[in-house]
Amino acid sequence: MRECSGATLAALLRRRSHAAFSDLRERPERARGLRQGGVDRLDLDRFVAIALNTLHGWSLPERGGWSPETYGRWWDRAHGLAHQESERTDAVVWADAVEMAHFYQGRNVAGMRRANAAH
């Protein structure tokens, strides 16, 4: 299984550091305020699934049908990567940031696939 290196994740996080995203990374109280009921909510959608498959070697269906165990596995992975990146950079990195980086990576891969299919 391929792992997402710290450098790859850091690059994804830097690339997506627009104002709202930076606000979540730099102001933990804002990120906590966005969580409902005090529980982290991470989305698993087709773009995240594509990123998990390409970056981590998972073999998820890209159009849904994920089990509760898969959601738990994604939650654990996102929090683990956030913790690793926080330790590596000595800055707070939230699982939300990992989710957003995976979403954009998956969307980019899907876009490249569409472009390649058009040729």
Q: Tens of pLDDT along 51-99?
A: 999 999 999 999 999 999 999 999 999 999 999 998 988 888 889 899 9
Which residues contact residue 40 at a Cβ distance below 8 angstroms, ignoring those fewer than 6 apart? 75, 79, 95, 96
Q: What is the pTM of this model?
A: 0.72
Beta bridge partners of 36: 39
